[in-house]
Amino acid sequence: MPVEETAPPVTAFMLIKTLPEWLAMTPHERMDAFATQVVPAIRARTTGVRSRFYDTEFYSTRVTDVWVWEADDHAAYQLLIDALRETPFWDRYFEVVDLLVGSENGYARTYGFDPLATITT
């Protein structure tokens, strides 16, 4: 029986910068705000998303953090963004500087090649 190929997940690199309201909170208040205001909104609106969070403020002044999202499909990604926009995360705690959205090794999938840029040493 042939294996049915599934669509690749959607990956989004969300480049963000902290805003004064976020920085005015203590670290404990920040974690509480994130856990009570942002995470529940995401969980209530979408499924099939995963994330990783990277601090970059010690290397960049334009972007303080990069939030990497992987969504099972474009619909899950759209629901994620809609959910985030309804929370204080969006434009109160953080400025979304840029969104870079793509599909891993999309060029290889399009042309039937093995991924060349995936390197493990």
Q: Is residue 1 situated within a structural domain?
A: no
Residue 99, domain extent: 10-111
CATH code for the domain of 37: 3.30.70.3420
Q: Is 22 helix (H, G, I), strand (E, B) or coil?
A: helix
Is 98 among the domain residues?
A: yes
- Contact yes or no for 46/83 (Cβ under 8 A): yes
Tens digits of pLDDT across the chain (121 residues):
555 566 778 999 999 999 999 999 999 999 999 999 999 999 999 999 999 999 999 998 899 999 999 999 999 999 999 999 999 999 999 999 999 999 888 888 888 888 887 778 8
Residue 99 placed within a domain = yes
In a domain, 4, yes or no: no
Q: Is residue 118 part of a domain?
A: no
Domain annotation covers residue 3 = no
Question: Could you give the CA distance from residue 119 to residue 15 in angstroms, rounded to a whole number?
Answer: 25
Residue 121 lies in a domain: no
Domain-located, residue 2: no
- The whole-model pTM stands at 0.85
Domain count, the chain: 1
Sort 14 into a burial class: Cβ within 10 Å, 0-12 / 13-18 / 19+.
buried
Beta strand extents in the chain (DSSP E only)? 10-18, 49-55, 65-71, 94-102
